[in-house]
Structure 1
Amino acid sequence: MDIRQLNYFVAVYEQGSVSAAARQCCVAQPSLSSALRQLEQELGVSLFTRLPKGVTPTEDGEKLYGHAGRLLAQLQSLKASFSQPVARVKFRLGLIRALGVERMSQLLREFSNSLPGLELHLVEPDELCDARIITPQLLKAGEAFQPIWQDNYLLAIPPGSALMLQEKIALSDFENLPLIKRTPCDAWNALYPELVRRGIKPDLRADIQTIEYALGLVSAGVGCALVPDFDNMQQRNDVILRPVNELKLERTIGLAYPKNSNTEPLTMLLQQCLQAASR
C-alpha cells in the first residue's frame, strides 16, 4: 500500500466515479483502475460496488476512507511543518444553496490548492464577499458574470408511482399531484406560475429548502419534487427521475465578481471556473 493508491482511492470515493477521479488526479483511467485493484488485492477486500454510472463504496470502502483521510491529513501536516510559512490571503466567497456537493467540493479544492496561503471563507451570497457563485437573476450592478454549469431540472418521483411508467411528465399530470415545494428554486419559480395560469392545482405536501430533504420526502413516498440533474442523482435507486414536458426548467450557475477587481485569488478562481465549465 502506498500514498499514491490512497490518494486515488479517496478521489474515487469522493467523486463517485473512476473517470472523474482520473481527471481530478491528472492520470489515465486505466492506471488509476490498476492501482485501485492492487489496493483491493493487498487488503483482500472489495472497496467499491460498480454501478452502471459510477461506483458506490462498500462497507470496507467506508472503513478505509476514514483511515485514509486521517493518514493523508497527517502526511500533509508533516510536509507543512517543514515548509516556509506563507502569507495568508483571505477570500470570502458567497454561495447559493443546492450547488451540488461533488462538483463544488472539487472546484473549491482546486481553488485552494492553486493558491498557497489561501484562507477561504464561505458565506451567504448576500453578505460582504469578494465573489459569489450564483444564478444570473441575482447579479448586481457592477458585477461581471462567468457561467460555470448549466443545470436541467427533473421531477423526482417516489418508486411505485404511476408516473414512473411515463417517459415525460405533462403539466396536466400536476393536477392534484402530491408535490413538495422547495424554495429558493429557479425551476419552481418557472413551474408554479405556469400551473396557476393553466388552472392546475397540485397537492402541496411540504415546503422545504434543501435538495437532500426533498429527496428524502420523495423516497418516503410523501410526494414529488423538482431537483437539478446532478450526476449523482442518476445513481439513486430510491427515486425515479423524469423530465417535465412543455416547459424548459433549467438554470445557469456562474461566478459573479466586481468588474474592476483583478486580485490574484480572483484570477485563480476564474481560471478554475473556466476549467470546470469546459469539463
Structure 2
Amino acid sequence: MDIRQLGYFVAVYEQGSISAAARHCCVAQPSLSAALRQLEQELEVTLFVRLSKGVTPTEDGEKLYGHAGRLLGQLQSLKASFVQPVARVKFRLGLIRALGVERMSQLLREFSNAVPGLELHLVEPTDSCDARIITPQLLKAGEAFQPIWHDSYLLAIPLGSALSLQQEIQLDDFEQLPLIKRTPCDAWNTIYPELIRRGIKPDLRADIQTIEYALGLVSAGVGCALVPNLDSLLQRQDLILRPVNLPKLKRELGLAYNKNHTSAPLSVLLQLCQATA
C-alpha cells in the first residue's frame, strides 16, 4: 500500500466515478484502475461496487476512506511545514458563459498546478484581464487567438415531446415550436436569421442568459432550447438531445490574449491550450 494508491482511492470515493477520478488526478484511467485493484488485492477486500454509471463504496470502502483521509491530511500538513513561501502571481482570466464545467475545471487545475503561487481570478470577458476564453466573434483589435474546442449545437427537448421520436431536427420543425431563447448564444445568432429568411416563426416562451436555467425550463416542459454538445449534458436523463440539420450551427472556443503582452503564466496557459487543442 502506498500514498499514491490511497490518493486514487479517495478521488474515486469523492468523485463517485473511476473516469472522473482519473481526470481529477490527471492520470490515465487504466493506471488508476490498476492501482485500485492492487490496493483491493493487498487488503483482500472489495472497496467499490461497479455500477453502470459510476461506483458506490462498500462497507470496507467506507472504513478505508476515514483512515485514508486522515493519513493524506497528515502528509499534506507535514509537507506544508517544510515548504518555503512562494511569491503570489496574480492572473485574471475572462470567461464567457457555457464553456463546460468539466473541461474548464481540468484546464484550470493544470494551469494552477503548472504555475507556483498562482492566484487565479475568473472574471467576465468584458472586464480587464490578462487573457480571455471566448469565441472568435468577440476578439478585439490587437488580440491573438489560440483555438481550444469546437462544439456543435443540439436541441434540448422535453421528455414526451413528439420531436424526441426524430433522429434529427429540421428547420421546418421550428414553426410554432415552444422555444427558450438564450442570449448571448452563437447558435441563436446563426439559426434565427435563417428562420426569418424562410418565414418560420417559433413560439418564444422565455429569454434568459444561462444554460442552467434554459435546461431547467426544458426539463419542466416549458419548451426546447439550443445547447452546446457538452459531455455533462449528454448524461442527463430528464430531457432529450437531438442534432439540428444546419451545418453552420457550431462554435469555436479559444484563448484570446494581447499580442504585445507576454508573461510566464500566459505562456504556460497558451501551451496548455495548444496541447488541449
Tell me: CA distance 1:11–1:150, structure 2 relative to 1, closer, same or farther (3 Å). Answer: farther
Tell me: CA distance 1:80–1:245, structure 2 relative to 1, closer, same or farther (3 Å). Answer: same
Tell me: CA distance 1:195–1:77, structure 2 relative to 1, closer, same or farther (3 Å). Answer: farther
Name the residue aligned to 1:273: 273
Is the partner of 1:253 in helix, strand or coil?
Answer: strand
By how many angstroms is 1:255 displaced? 0.3
TM-score with structure 1 length normalisation? 0.84
Name the residue aligned to 1:89: 89
**C-alpha distance in structure 1 between counterparts of 2:57 and 2:227, whole Å:** 28
Name the residue aligned to 1:166: 166
Is the partner of 1:173 in helix, strand or coil?
Answer: helix
Uncovered stretches (5+) of structure 2, i.e. residues with no partner: none
**C-alpha distance in structure 2 between counterparts of 1:116 and 1:260, whole Å:** 24
Name the residue aligned to 2:249: 249
Name the residue aligned to 1:100: 100
By how many angstroms is 1:49 displaced? 3.1
Tell me: CA distance 1:204–1:83, structure 2 relative to 1, closer, same or farther (3 Å). Answer: same
Uncovered stretches (5+) of structure 1, i.e. residues with no partner: none
**C-alpha distance in structure 2 between counterparts of 1:9 and 1:204, whole Å:** 48
Please say if residues 159 and 238 of structure 2, whose CA atoms lie closer than 8 Å, have aligned partners that are also in contact: yes
Aligned residue type for 1:177: L
Please say if residues 131 and 257 of structure 1, whose CA atoms lie closer than 8 Å, have aligned partners that are also in contact: yes
Tell me: CA distance 1:266–1:175, structure 2 relative to 1, closer, same or farther (3 Å). Answer: same
**Which residues of 2 match residues 1-279 of structure 1 at below 5 A?**
3-9=3-9, 18-19=18-19, 21-22=21-22, 25=25, 27-37=27-37, 46=48, 49-51=51-53, 55=54, 58=56, 75-76=75-76, 78-277=78-277
Please say if residues 40 and 46 of structure 2, whose CA atoms lie closer than 8 Å, have aligned partners that are also in contact: yes
Tell me: CA distance 1:105–1:191, structure 2 relative to 1, closer, same or farther (3 Å). Answer: same
Please say if residues 150 and 253 of structure 1, whose CA atoms lie closer than 8 Å, have aligned partners that are also in contact: yes
1:133-180 C-alpha deviation (Å, 9 max, x unpaired): 111011001110000000110001111111111111000001111111
**C-alpha distance in structure 1 between counterparts of 2:127 and 2:198, whole Å:** 38
1:155-214 C-alpha deviation (Å, 9 max, x unpaired): 011111111111110000011111111111100111112112211111111111111111
Q: What's the RMSD between the two structures over aligned residues? A: 3.1
Is the partner of 1:271 in helix, strand or coil?
Answer: helix
Q: Name whichever of 189-198 and 160-169 sits farther off.
A: 189-198
Bigger Rg, which one: 2
Q: Name whichever of 41-50 and 178-187 sits farther off.
A: 41-50
Tell me: CA distance 1:256–1:34, structure 2 relative to 1, closer, same or farther (3 Å). Answer: same
1:225-249 C-alpha deviation (Å, 9 max, x unpaired): 1111011222111111111013421
Is the partner of 2:226 in helix, strand or coil?
Answer: strand
By how many angstroms is 1:30 displaced? 2.8
Q: Name whichever of 268-277 and 10-19 sits farther off.
A: 10-19
TM-score with structure 2 length normalisation? 0.85
Please say if residues 15 and 102 of structure 1, whose CA atoms lie closer than 8 Å, have aligned partners that are also in contact: no
Identical residues among aligned pairs (%): 76
Q: Give the paired residue count.
A: 271
Aligned residue type for 1:50: S
**C-alpha distance in structure 2 between counterparts of 1:248 and 1:70, whole Å:** 53
1:83-114 C-alpha deviation (Å, 9 max, x unpaired): 01111111111111110000000000000000
